[in-house]
Amino acid sequence: MIDEKYQGKGYGKLAIQEVVRMLQERSDCQQIRVSHVPHNIAANALYKRCGFQDTGEFEDNGDIILSYQVR
């Protein structure tokens, strides 16, 4: 999570990209999945800008699930 006063400065995107990079180095990682509350449109857009895609799935609590296919 990025504190509200630091949002919109690219820190979240950089953090997501770094986690993806780290997980791509693992030979046992084929997919990365994240979730967010449905009304968080900004999070959805951020994840999609980082290469995540809708899965059409939802957590039991209604959160939207997105995935990133690791090559």
CA distance between the termini of the chain: 26
Q: Which residue in 6, 11, 47, 68 is the catalytic one?
A: 47
Q: Is the torsion defined by CA of 60, 69, 4, 41 positive or negative?
A: negative
Identify whether 68 is a catalytic site residue.
no
The residues that bridge with 35 in the sheet, in sequence order, are 65
Which run of H or of E encompasses 31?
strand 31-36
Query: Which amino acids are annotated catalytic?
Result: 47
